[in-house]
Amino acid sequence: MSSQWMDKLVIPSQAKMVFLIMDGLGGLPMEGKPGTELETAITPHLDALARGGVCGLLDPIAPGITPGSGPAHFALFGYDPVDNNVGRGLLSAAGLDFPMTERDLFMRVNFATVDSEGRVTDRRAGRIDTETNERLCRKLAEGIRPASGTEVFFATEKEHRALIVLRGDNLREEIAETDPQKTGLPPLSPKALIPEAAGTANQLTDLLNQARTVLADEPKANMMLLRGYSRYHRFEPMSERFGLSPLAIASYPMYRGISRLLGMTVHAPTSTLEEEIAALETAWPDYDFFFVHVKPTDSRGEDGDFDAKVKAIETVDALIPRITALSPDVLVVTGDHSTPAALASHSWHPVPVVLSAKTCRPDRAERFGEGDCLFGGLGRMSMSSLMTVALAHAGRLTKFGA
């Protein structure tokens, strides 16, 4: 839906909205299991929301398209995921509150493991801990020398994820990513996708060659994979578009970065979901839109661990009463994309959603799961329309036309 006209329908309201986002929520059945991870989990509180609210399925980008986390989150907040697509590096930089300039090129890094023949054996280096990541970033900063006239910065995100920033003139983002997306293959070359990016590609090739030497003695993280190149972009904040005072509660830097780019206040980092809910309770009087991000559902899906993803969902369900006790005018529970343990990766499958509000028209959903949501009252719709529907249920949109 085009914001050029929809945003003009926004009206002032005191209504409070919560978006509880279980990253990678959607799943698939596996042999010996009664359904998807969400359908297998024991979720009495989410099921109660489904019975009293309205359910559906969301396509993050378009039917059949597997989304990245970045564009999927932009869609969740009502921003067109195609028009506003940026490289993950920018999201990481914003999440770390890196002091950005217009001369910067941002890149997301996965520390990875390669064998003696240069083939990737682990794209996440065994999910090294954050302290090891910090040591590696210091080691790279000391050992790598960029091209003349260019500066390079290394910053830790979390676990195996890091940020590289090149600062210089005429840097371009049209570069091929080096992650082969599967093990058993060597890292790809950072090839220029347009002629104007050739100089930047050459700099990145040299940087990766130096990194391989610097990291050669590391038992796990002996290589870097580059993803999500991006220059700086500005976004219209949610306060201007929707008249909201938004707060983001998220532990992972990238999601904090998306929030910061969209003008949300970003709460101090938390370590557990319980801490996130406590932060929501403490901040409740001061904001009217709350984004609460849950990462373990996605991580366990990427690990291919069906049972662990089920447990992560059940952990969220147990905390739902603390959210409903705050009496939000609108509570949305969904994911940004599907990460079925059966695939151990993001997938194109639509994402289940439940919206709870006093203005809901009840549907026939009895449980919060993919099967029930298929026949829910929201139907199957674009994820970027979710914000519009939530604003309507919060009484924040006026009538269109005479």
Look up the CATH number of the domain holding residue 310: 3.40.720.10
pLDDT over threshold 50, residue 1 = no
pLDDT band at residue 88 using 50, 70 and 90 as cut-offs: confident
User: Is the predicted pLDDT of residue 3 greater than 70, yes or no?
Assistant: no
Q: From 230, 264, 280, give the residue that closes a domain.
A: 230
pLDDT one-digit tens code per residue, 347-388:
999 999 999 999 999 899 999 999 999 999 999 999 999 999
- Among 202, 230, 258, where does a domain finish? 230
Answer yes or no: is pLDDT of 67 > 90: yes
Place of tokens 């070359």: 189
* Single residue among 230, 253, 276 that ends a domain in this structure: 230
Owning domain of residue 82: 3-86+234-393
Cα–Cα distance, 171 to 192 (Å, whole number): 11
The whole-number pLDDT of residue 216 equals: 94
Tell whether 18 and 143 lie within a shared domain.
no
Shared domain check, 275 and 215 = no
Per-residue confidence (pLDDT) for residue 4, from 0 to 100: 66
3-state SS, 321-363, equals: HHHHCCCCCEEEEECCCECCCCCCCCECCCEEEEEECCCCCCC
**Residues 241, 378 within the same domain:** yes
Long-range contacts of 358-362 (CB under 8 A, 24+ apart): 358/329, 359/393, 359/395, 360/52, 360/53, 360/54, 360/393, 361/54, 362/51, 362/52, 362/53, 362/54
Mean pLDDT for the chain overall: 95
* Beta carbons within 10 angstroms of residue 195's beta carbon: 9
Instruction: Give the up-direction half-sphere exposure of residue 99: CA atoms within 13 A in the CB hemisphere.
Output: 1
